[in-house]
Amino acid sequence: MNLGAVILAGGSGRRMDCNIKKQYLKINGESIFIISLKKLLNIKSIDQYVLVIPEEDKKFVSRILKENNIKNVKIAYGGNRRQDSVVNGLKMLKSVESVLIHDSVRPFFKEQLINKGIKQLRNYSAVIPAIPLKDTIKKVENGVVSKTLDRSKLVAVQTPQFFDYKELLNLYEKFNNINFTDDSYLFELKNKEVSIIMGLEENIKITTPVDYEIAKMLVKKGKVNV
């Protein structure tokens, strides 16, 4: 299987509320997106890499890549929405059968998760990691609870997500005008099965200042590998 990886670092990190985009914040002396990228570059089953970055940061990022001696990574530019960044990244891949899409701000994934995803792609066109919820989830309308959802049927979804490349690109072309937050949603729209593999509790998405503090703590305490 020829596998491509699209690593997303094209966002602006509004919820981090910081003067530097969150993917460039450092953990243990290294930018978050570089931690994710280096880990992916060490995975032998990946054949091609595309890193999606904000266009205005191209000089800054190419300097960081050079300092880290990172080669063989194509660069794509981000769009307004995450999904626009994904499609820009997908279009840079050449002759791949499958693709994994990863949020660079989830630096604590493990190689085993990727191996599981690749294996499951033999049977499905879309495979995503997810974990059980810890909180009770309620639906709210006009400031009051309208429903308590059955937690046993809900999961929290992570990346990396794994797809048949052609199917994903076709779906992207077809549903260009709707908004969604993860790529597997496109398969749901077409009633195609999305297979779930067990995610990792520590595979957090560094989204808010608290997440960043937790991420640094996990590394300091040796709870995760970077």
Ligand X SMILES: C[C@](O)(CO)[C@H](O)COP(=O)(O)O
Ligand Y SMILES: Nc1ccn([C@@H]2O[C@H](COP(=O)(O)OP(=O)(O)OP(=O)(O)O)[C@@H](O)[C@H]2O)c(=O)n1
Tell me how far CA of residue 193 lies from CA of 65, 100, 125, in angstroms: 37, 17, 8
Question: Which of 99-107, 165-173, 196-204, 211-219 is the region at the interface with ligand Y (rule: CB under 6 A)?
Answer: 99-107
User: Which residue's Cβ has the minimum distance to ligand Y?
Assistant: 11
Residue matched to tokens 């499958």: 98
**Contact letters (x/-) for ligand Y, 192-221, by CB under 6 A?**
-------------x-x--------------
Question: Which of 68-76, 151-159, 187-195, 209-217 is the region at the interface with ligand X (rule: CB under 6 A)?
Answer: 151-159
From the centroid of its chain, how far is CA 27? 18
Q: Residue 129 in contact with residue 199, Cβ under 8 Å? A: yes
Please choose which of ligand X, ligand Y, none residue 28 contacts, taking the beta carbon within 5 to 8 angstroms, the exact cut-off set by kind.
Answer: none
- The reply to whether 104 sits near ligand Y by the rule CB under 6 A is yes
Q: What is d(CA 163, CA 147) in angstroms, rounded to the nearest whole number? A: 33
What is the footprint of ligand X within residues 95-114 (CB under 6 A)?
103
Helices of type H across 68-164: 82-92, 111-120
Q: Minimum Å distance from CB 10 to ligand Y? A: 3
What is the footprint of ligand X within residues 168-187 (CB under 6 A)?
181-182
Please choose which of ligand Y, ligand X, none residue 148 contacts, taking the beta carbon within 5 to 8 angstroms, the exact cut-off set by kind.
Answer: none
What DSSP element (H or E) covers 103? strand 98-103
Question: Which of 55-63, 103-111, 131-139, 167-175 is the region at the interface with ligand Y (rule: CB under 6 A)?
Answer: 103-111
Q: What is d(CA 33, CA 79) in angstroms, rounded to the nearest whole number? A: 17
Task: Specify the amino acid at residue 201.
Answer: E
Question: Which of 77-85, 90-98, 140-148, 150-158 is the region at the interface with ligand Y (rule: CB under 6 A)?
Answer: 77-85
Secondary structure of residue 224 in the 3-state scheme: coil
The rounded radius of gyration (Å) of the Cα atoms in the chain is 17
Chain contacts with ligand Y (rule: CB under 6 A): 8-15, 23, 52, 78-82, 85, 103-105, 205, 207
